[in-house]
Amino acid sequence: MALQQLKNRIKTWLPTGAVGLAGPLGGLLAVYILLVAGFGIYWSRAPAPFDVQAIIAESSSRPATGVATTLTAIQLGESLLSKPGGFLRNDIAPPGVLLDNIPNWEYGVLIQLRDLTRAMREVMSRSQSQSREDPDLALAEPRFNFQANSWMLPSSESQYEEGLAYLRAYLARLQDPEAKEAQFYARADNLRHWLAAVDIRLGSLSQRLSASVGQRRVNTDLAGDGAATQSTPVPAELEVKTPWAEIDDVFYEARGTAWALLHILRAIEVDFADVLAKKNATVSVRQIIRELEATQENVWSPMILNGSGFGLWANHSLVMASYLTRANAAIVDLRDLLAQG
């Protein structure tokens, strides 16, 4: 009876002629909501890991040094653009604009793609600091550094597509034995250069993930250098806590970062095989990959839980931070190992 009274009251509020449309419009709205929800759930699925060895076998007519790393960079970019829903971080319409987990996952992958192409442009394709940079990599790298939230004039996707086209051009020249100017130098110092960037990224993510529960931290910004100064004074102790609404964002950015890194390291294991074998460091790379693989386990909870450190509920951010911290420590050890004669 109460429901019928409510329906009658709503009808009195509707303009004349709209009462007959209320049913069909409500049905269309319900269908629209179901479609948006369905596509949103489908688009929120991250791509499955790809087999680096398989793409090398399928795409490489000549297994030259650098082909594995370049192919992996291309595959990372294609995964961002061709996964269900395409690139979502710049969407302005439902369901993409309503999602936040997968766009943050995309950002983590994108950051690693940017760091890799920067290292390829600056050191891996150059024999020394005074040598000429590769023309295709010089055009590819800035395309991937284009802002990730532009939906037109130009769109982020169009810039990343151009970056992939230049990477493919570089790959074609690497595979051409007559193209002497296209090079990839698999040296220990080049690998250490890229690993330094990875070290910084993982260290930052570990700190942000650990701050999910809130911590009081001693300010160590100037530790180790008595003459060091900084622009603005800060307290001796800091209260660090990730805002509640950003906890899942940081988690999925870290998950995307790890997803990209484990593929790049598998390619590094191929291109830098001789360097790693000489330093007896192949097992170190495999252990880093193992730690990163653990970050891709299924999240069975419908949401990212944020229990206290030793509380009753799980804290997914602290679990992710543990894996990334262990991978980061192994990367520091690997850099030191590569620096040894």
Does residue 92 register a pLDDT over 60? yes
3-state secondary structure (DSSP) of residue 13: helix
Confidence band, pLDDT 50/70/90 cuts, at residue 226: low
DSSP of 95-154, one letter per residue? TGGG--HHHHHHHHHHHHHHHHHHHIIIIIT-SSTTSPPPHHHHHHHHHHTS-TT-BSSS
Of 44-48, 60-64, 184-188, the range with the lowest mean pLDDT is: 60-64
Q: pTM of the predicted model, to two decimals?
A: 0.87
> Measured in whole angstroms, how far is the alpha carbon of residue 186 from the centre of its chain?
24
Does residue 7 register a pLDDT over 80? no
Does residue 216 register a pLDDT over 80? no
b/e 181-197 (16+ beta carbons within 10 angstroms → b): ebbbebebebbbbbbeb
Confidence band, pLDDT 50/70/90 cuts, at residue 236: low
pLDDT at 28: 77
pLDDT at 177: 86
H or E element at residue 263: helix 247-271
Of 136-145, 206-215, 262-271, 294-303, the range with the lowest mean pLDDT is: 206-215
Of 4-13, 106-115, 181-190, 237-246, the range with the lowest mean pLDDT is: 4-13
Spatial distance between the Cα atoms of 20 and 11, rounded to a whole number of angstroms: 10
Residue type, 250: V
3-state secondary structure (DSSP) of residue 215: strand
Spatial distance between the Cα atoms of 291 and 70, rounded to a whole number of angstroms: 23
Does residue 338 register a pLDDT over 70? yes
